[in-house]
């Protein structure tokens, strides 16, 4: 089985028809059909079930698709690098971040970085935790900025940029805004905007309620902390989020108060052990260190201001 055959298989899974796969790959419909027939003959088992002119992949086909994903991610990264070399655009840094950092510290650092280096191009994406790590491992991104990294994958290096504690956010006119500290018991009768179950910060929040002996009940569940802050500012309820999201979101009607039990969160950068960081990546990482350090100082000032 060669790469072209795998490419045809993947296109068929995405498009569900030989016509659609042919259009995507620039091949005729008969050529795609023949390629599939040859591949199934070579493998000795069926890859699709044919129902009403559509192709539904078998479990074996789905397994091949999943196992081939890293190969095509590396190919895409290599193709992008070749384009950069062809066009003499070697000043490029590729970064990826999870939402709490992608919507907070990264834009601040990026503004400073591009002001100093206007000719360098940047690829920037915001993805979930697992996607950010895999993008760095596969070489699609040079730097990955994530929250809640507990163990560094063996293929990556990591550096902790920020360590702090989750905060409780609410509108300035909320009755609880007058309290110096917010505890789970204070939120019994409040509509809670919870972070999604199964996410790192969502798990930390539920653990904090369990440690306090309080039942965890919520009115709204969201995936990302910045969405929780937006809802809290609009009076939907209160939320417990990471401090960087609260600090950098520019929510004029929102206050952030200390939350107990103290729930630690951290921000880290990851990069590959196999590839040295480019000069632009090193420069951007330094700007991120500065941005996070400034945010830490500003956060302490903000917490003192918001606390009665």
Q: Which domains does the chain have, with CATH numbers?
A: 3-68 (1.10.10.10), 83-162+267-301 (3.40.190.10), 164-265 (3.40.190.10)
For the chain, give the DSSP string. --HHHHHHHHHHHHHSSHHHHHHHHT--HHHHHHHHHHHHHHHTS--EEEETTEEEE-HHHHHHHHHHHHHHHHHHHHHHHHHHHHTT---EEEEEE-HHHHTTHHHHHHHHHHHH-TT-EEEEEE--HHHHHHHHHHTS-SEEEEE---S--TTEEEEEEEEEE-EEEEETTSGGGG-S-B-GGGGTTS-EEEEPTTSHHHHHHHHHHHHTT-----SEEESSHHHHHHHHHTTS-EEEE-HHHHHHS--TTEEEEEBSS--EEEEEEEEESSSPPPHHHHHHHHHHHHHHHHHHHHHHHHHHHH--
The pLDDT of residue 307 is above 80: no
The pLDDT of residue 210 is above 60: yes
Residue 252: its pLDDT value, please? Answer: 84
Mean pLDDT of the chain: 89
Tell me the per-residue pLDDT of 218-250, one tens digit each, with 9 for 90 and over: 999 999 999 999 999 999 999 999 988 888 767
Task: Report percent pLDDT > 70 for the chain.
Answer: 93
Residue 148: its pLDDT value, please? Answer: 87
The pLDDT of residue 88 is above 50: no
Residue 154: its pLDDT value, please? Answer: 93
Residue 6: its pLDDT value, please? Answer: 87
> What integer is the mean pLDDT of 155-162?
95
> What integer is the mean pLDDT of 28-45?
90
Residue 235: its pLDDT value, please? Answer: 94
> What integer is the mean pLDDT of 122-143?
93
């Amino acid at each position: 089985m060669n790469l072209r055959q795998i490419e045809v298989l993947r296109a068929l899974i995405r498009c569900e028809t030989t016509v659609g796969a042919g259009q995507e790959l620039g091949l005729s419909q008969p050529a795609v059909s023949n390629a599939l027939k040859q591949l199934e003959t070579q493998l000795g088992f069926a890859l699709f079930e044919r129902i009403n002119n559509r192709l539904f992949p078998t479990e074996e086909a789905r397994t091949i698709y999943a196992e081939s994903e890293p190969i095509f991610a590396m190919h895409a990264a290599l193709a992008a690098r070749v384009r950069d070399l062809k066009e003499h655009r070697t000043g490029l840094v590729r970064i990826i971040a999870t939402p709490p950092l992608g919507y907070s510290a990264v834009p601040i650092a990026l503004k400073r970085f591009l002001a100093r280096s206007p000719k360098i191009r940047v690829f920037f994406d915001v993805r979930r935790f697992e996607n950010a790590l895999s993008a760095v491992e596969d070489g699609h991104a040079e730097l990955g900025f994530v929250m809640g990294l507990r163990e560094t994958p063996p293929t990556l290096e990591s550096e902790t940029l920020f360590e702090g504690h989750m905060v409780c956010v609410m509108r300035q006119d909320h009755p609880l805004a007058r309290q110096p500290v917010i505890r789970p018991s204070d939120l019994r009768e409040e509509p809670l905007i919870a972070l999604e179950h199964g996410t790192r910060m969502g798990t930390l929040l539920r653990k904090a309620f369990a440690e306090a002996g309080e039942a965890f009940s919520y009115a709204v569940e969201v995936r990302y902390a910045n969405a929780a802050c937006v809802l809290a500012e609009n009076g939907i309820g209160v939320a417990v989020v990471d401090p960087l999201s609260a600090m950098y979101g520019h929510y004029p009607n929102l206050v952030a108060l200390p939350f107990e039990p103290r729930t630690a969160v951290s921000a880290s950068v990851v990069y590959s052990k196999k590839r040295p960081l480019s000069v632009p990546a090193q420069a951007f990482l330094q700007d991120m260190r500065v941005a996070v350090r400034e945010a830490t100082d500003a956060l302490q000032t903000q917490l003192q201001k918001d606390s009665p």
